[in-house]
Amino acid sequence: MWDVVVLGAGAAGLMAAATAGRNGARVLVLDHGPEPGRKILVSGGGRCNFTHLETGPNCFLSDNRHFARSALARYTPQNFLSLVERHRIAWHEKAKGQLFCDGSARQIVDMLVSECLTGGCELRIETRITDMRREGDGFVIRTGRGDVQSRKVILATGGLSIPKLGASDLSLRLARQFGLRIVPTAPALVPLVLPDADPELAGVSLTVVTRIGKKGPRFEDGMVFTHRGLSGPAILQISSYLQAGESFQVDLLPGSNVLDALRRTKQDRPRALPPRLLEMLPARLAKVLVADLGDTMLANQPDRKLRALAERLSCWKVTPDGTEGYAKAEVMRGGVDTRGLSSQTMEALDVPGLYVIGEAVDVTGWLGGHNFQWAWSSGVAAGLAA
């Protein structure tokens, strides 16, 4: 009989196991993959954006916006950074608050596995988990290598994104089986597919502001045109908030009074042709945007056309056809409903001994290291309690 069995040797599961093991529990970690931490290995372009210094509950989507507060406050980005430094992993701040390894994401996996081993945890990979049932005060987990008994179980098999890296619905399925509710799931931090994508623009990138309505979320960051639509950080961020069929706006020239700039160019260069109006944008994009103005010199372009162009530049309305789906999504939004969990310990309120952590929970972070910080913080919360 184990004290704690952790299902999933990903970011959250390894952190929870190491914490529980160091706390004196006999811990077993099970995973069906060929090695632990596969998403960590591919994260941050191979350098793992392992935390964000300015994380907080406002950087997460959840039906309960306050749920993440307690775990994030107890185990902070600074706590994780101390662990990274204790393992002598060199790091750097790339964009504001976003911390990456100087070397390789493998250093983070090695660090977590080493913490697990120090805590005396046993790690079994390539182990299929078929089902789980209550028995007495504990649980029996049926695996491809026989039954495993445990007093406590931590569900940490993550979300549905990137099935080829081992994603499955196991945590959601087991949570549902034990009576927990699931907030509807969808791909998040995901490239968008447009009905009228112009393949000519593929690869064009620029800094934009994406937003939903006047009061909705707003992100200023990079955007890139793809063969099927749009990607880049500003798009991934807004994608997490979009409902099917919903539109959002893109400001292609943030921070400038576009109409004034267009009028000035018309005045200063009356004989120039329309592409000259948009010299500040990538040439391929400028050409498409001024197509309506034909080959008429700027002097002969009516103000109404400049106004329409300015409107399109600062408030381009985009209605995606859909997303690139879980195959390309960085995370899943939705998941195990936080109303059924303790925000302090991640334990299911009605199923003593059962914990849910990481991406399987309805807590979805922005891009930039927030999702890993949630994995670390929720993992520590459950690891200490289990």
Q: Can you give the binding site for ligand FDA, defined by CB under 6 A?
A: 8-13, 31-33, 38-39, 42-44, 48-49, 129, 156-158, 161-162, 166-168, 170, 330-331, 358-360, 369-372, 375
Least distance from ligand FDA to the Cβ atom of residue 138, Å:
19
Least distance from ligand FDA to the Cβ atom of residue 358, Å:
2
Residues 6+ apart with CB under 8 A from 314: 251, 252, 253, 258
Task: Give 130 or 296: the residue with its C-beta nearer to ligand FDA.
Answer: 130
Task: Give 32 or 152: the residue with its C-beta nearer to ligand FDA.
Answer: 32
Select the residue whose beta carbon is closest to ligand FDA and give its number.
10
Amino acid identity, position 95: A
Task: Give 44 or 340: the residue with its C-beta nearer to ligand FDA.
Answer: 44
Give kind and range of the element (H or E) at residue 11.
helix 11-22
What is the C-alpha to C-alpha distance for residues 328 and 335, in angstroms, rounded to an integer? 18
What is the C-alpha to C-alpha distance for residues 252 and 254, in angstroms, rounded to an integer? 6
Chain-centroid distance of CA 370 in Å reads: 8
Task: Give 104 or 168: the residue with its C-beta nearer to ligand FDA.
Answer: 168
Q: Which long-range contacts (CB under 8 A, 24 or more apart) does 279-285 make?
A: 280/253, 280/256, 281/206, 281/252, 281/253, 282/204, 282/205, 282/206, 284/200, 284/201, 284/204, 285/201, 285/204, 285/206, 285/225, 285/252
Task: Give 320 or 358: the residue with its C-beta nearer to ligand FDA.
Answer: 358
Least distance from ligand FDA to the Cβ atom of residue 209, Å:
22
Task: Give 44 or 274: the residue with its C-beta nearer to ligand FDA.
Answer: 44
What is the C-alpha to C-alpha distance for residues 47 and 386, in angstroms, rounded to an integer? 31
Least distance from ligand FDA to the Cβ atom of residue 137, Å:
24
Least distance from ligand FDA to the Cβ atom of residue 163, Å:
9
What is the C-alpha to C-alpha distance for residues 313 and 304, in angstroms, rounded to an integer? 14
Least distance from ligand FDA to the Cβ atom of residue 13, Å:
5
